[in-house]
Amino acid sequence: MRDYTAIHKRYLRDPLSIRLGGLAANLARIKSFSTLGQNDILVNSLLDESKYFIEWTAAEAEAEVTAELVQLQIQLARWQRKWPSIWADASQRLAMAETAKHWSERVLDLSGLLT
C-alpha cells in the first residue's frame, strides 16, 4: 500500500482550484489508461489516489461542489468494489473510462481553471 503522507502534505499546499484540477487530471488518466488491459494496477491506484484527493478537498469546497465530489467518491468506490469483473470485461471497462472522462470534464469545470 502506498504511503500518502507526503502526497497529502504537498496536495494541501495548492489552492482549491489547483487541487480540483489535479483530481480532474487523475480522472482523465483513468480514462486514458483504461484502454489497455495491462494497466489494471495503475488504474486501481489512480482510483485510490482520487478518493484521497476528494477527501482532502471536499471540506474546503462550497456545498454544491462538495455534494458532487461525494457522488464521485461513491462512484470510485463502486468501481473498486466490482474491480475484477469491470477490468475483465472490455465493455464494462470502456463504460468506466467514459464515465471517468465525464467526471474529469465536470471536475475541471468546477475548478474554475478554464474561466
Domains of the chain in sequence order: 5-108 (1.20.120)
Q: What Cα–Cα distance (Å) separates residue 49 from each residue in 45, 55, 56?
A: 6, 10, 11
DSSP output for 17-33: HHHHHHHHHHHHHHHHH
∠ CA 3-21-68, nearest 5°, is 90
Per-residue pLDDT of the chain (115 residues; tens, 9 = 90+): 678 899 899 999 999 999 999 999 999 999 999 988 889 999 999 999 999 999 999 999 999 999 999 999 999 999 999 999 999 999 999 999 999 999 999 999 999 999 8
**Using CA atoms, how far apart are residues 90 and 74, in angstroms rounded to an integer?**
22
The answer to whether 44 touches 80, Cβ cutoff 8 Å, is yes
- Collapsing DSSP states into helix, strand and coil, what is residue 90? helix
> What is the reported pLDDT for 104?
98
**Using CA atoms, how far apart are residues 105 and 86, in angstroms rounded to an integer?**
22
The burial class, CB within 10 Å (0-12 / 13-18 / 19+), for 106 is: middle
